[in-house]
Amino acid sequence: MNDFADKVVIVTGASSGIGRATAIAFYRAGARLALAARSTADLEQLAVEFGGDDMAIPFTLDVANPDQCQALIDRTVAHFGGVDVLINNAGMIVSGPFEHLQPGDIERQFAVNYFGAVYCTRAALPHLKKSRGVVVNVSSVAGFVGVPTSGAYSASKAALNSLGQSLAAELKPHGVAVVTVCPYFTSGAQLSRKGILRQGSRHKARLEGQQERPPRQAPGTQPVAVVADAILNAAAHRRRLVVLSPFGRLIWRVERWAPWLVDRVLPLAMRM
């Protein structure tokens, strides 16, 4: 039973894509929600759809700012009385040929995708220990399989995977589960189209001196609602690691045993 009745769930990056769909999935499972991101209007609208203050509060923050992450946790505890589940989902992608990336872009990639999760988790831990709660880090298959033209993104997700492993062992004796969910390409979410696939078709167009074609859907892409249900399920069953979509799991395994094959197939899948 994925029953989160009256549980208090924080979702970062709840204004769109996977985070928004995950907030909806937890709302349907009975949870009360703190919805966090930078786009205040989108969060406010979602909170109203959930029935307002008793069920959901919007909170505007940049997860790269530790004080704002602390304020999110404080506000949630003041409003709902505690925290049961923290979902570190907020993320962005900086992509392009590595030599074109500026140091500031790469630092921002880590500030949002890695340190955002670090700051929110640190602030929430005292409350999660009380509730014997769950941290879910929404990472990526790209954290296991380095993606061409998205090295900074892959590295930030690899760091998040590693943090999840350490914390899972460290916090288990305190009753806190740390779950790492690695989605594969997801439709209805912005990141894959804005980033990885777009860069693939751009790169190829540059090489061939042609106009950029719109990125096609990667094989094995999952709809956002399926990913949201998987996140809910992983939290309910306190799973340590969930790698999503049969295609995502295949690439993850092949990377371990035949990395040369991944090096050949990935650029083709990305139209590079």
Ligand X SMILES: NC(=O)c1ccc[n+]([C@@H]2O[C@H](COP(=O)([O-])OP(=O)(O)OC[C@H]3O[C@@H](n4cnc5c(N)ncnc54)[C@H](OP(=O)(O)O)[C@@H]3O)[C@@H](O)[C@H]2O)c1
Q: Does 243 participate in binding ligand X (rule CB under 6 A)?
A: no
Backbone angles phi, psi at 16, to 5 degrees: -160, 175
Q: Does 148 participate in binding ligand X (rule CB under 6 A)?
A: no
Among 221, 219, 218, 239, smallest CA distance to 230 is for 239
Q: Which of 2, 28, 30, 39 binds ligand X (CB under 6 A)?
A: 39
Site string for ligand X, 156-195 (x = CB under 6 A): ---------------------------x-xx--xxxx---
Q: Does 13 participate in binding ligand X (rule CB under 6 A)?
A: yes
Each residue of 191-208: b (16+ CB within 10 Å) or e?
A: bbbebbbbbbbbbbeeee
Q: Which of 38, 75, 130, 238 binds ligand X (CB under 6 A)?
A: 38
Q: Which of 9, 10, 15, 24 binds ligand X (CB under 6 A)?
A: 15
H-helix or E-strand containing 223?
strand 222-223
Neighbours of 126 (CB within 10 A): 11
Residue 10 or 189: the one with the smaller Cβ distance to ligand X is 189
Residue 91 or 200: the one with the smaller Cβ distance to ligand X is 91
Choose the catalytic residue: 27, 114, 153, 184. 153
The first and second tokens of residue 109, run together, are: 């990639």
Site for ligand X in 83-102 (CB under 6 A): 89-92
Amino acid (one-letter) located at 22: T
Alpha-carbon gap, residue 113 to 135, rounded angstroms: 15
Give me the residues that bind ligand X (CB under 6 A), please: 12-19, 37-39, 61-64, 89-92, 112, 138, 140, 183, 185-186, 189-192
